[in-house]
Amino acid sequence: MSTPRPHPRHVLITGASSGIGQALAEHYARPGCHLSLSGRNAGRLAQVAERCRARGAEVSQAVLDVCDASAMAAWIAEADRLAPLDLVVANAGISGGTGGVTAKASVGGESAEQARAIFATNLAGVINTVYPALEAMGPRRRGQIALVASVAGFRGLPSAPAYCASKAAVKVWGEGLRGALARDGIDLSVILPGFVESRITDANRFRMPLLMPAPRAARIIARGLARNQGRIAFPWPTVFACWLLATLPNALVDWLGRALPKKG
């Protein structure tokens, strides 16, 4: 087993104002650690930043939309100039029930507006985070990047087609990047959570099996990142169920899918 990585001294997290992003920020917050945090809600982000400062961390915060590529590039470059980035977590994401986009004119799954917003945030937003991070880490030939996907990326489901597809794209892209970046001394992990308490799961109006508190999810993620695990997937019953679903015949999955509850 490889030796665990040392505690990162500079961690950048997108979507840090709630859910997994908030929990990771608070997990890493300690004396000697600098956190660069972004989110779209200034009030929630400020509260997270204050909690992290109370734990002894230095914190820089920025109200940003990950869809704005130029703003993201400028923010990440400035963060790296402040102190070399050790870990970048591309976490920001939305679902059909979040992101401030309504389901008007929806046919079957998410509306056209929802689908565009989901792909813009969940996929393009990750790209807008990763490439500036690589520009900063590349010359040093060291650093770590984490992409937050989802177990929903194992198989497209009628309850959330665009969300599943966006997370599948992040998962597969990250798996490919890991091997490509290893030659350059940069580690990359793909995170595949099940249901974790967040604004996304708060919008769901159905029972979520094995719903996990965000701080517990953050501990699992941080432990996996310290070990440089390529895939950090949890909890295992949900992971197995989603993996199994992806192996079943389409006709059976179509039949099962009709019984799944839809997101708001």
**Rounded CA gap, 223 and 214, in Å?**
14
**Rounded CA gap, 187 and 194, in Å?**
23
Helix and strand numbers, DSSP H then E, in the chain: 10, 7
> Any catalytic annotation for residue 163?
yes
Q: Catalytic residue, from 28, 75, 163, 234: name it.
A: 163
- Cβ contact 131:78 at 8 Å: no
Greatest C-alpha distance within the chain: 54
Contacts of 28 (CB under 8 A, 6+ apart): 7, 8, 11, 35, 57, 87, 222
- Cβ contact 101:78 at 8 Å: no
For the beta carbon of residue 210, count every other beta carbon within 10 angstroms: 13
DSSP string, 15-47: STTSHHHHHHHHHH-STT-EEEEEES-HHHHHH
What positions carry a catalytic annotation? 163
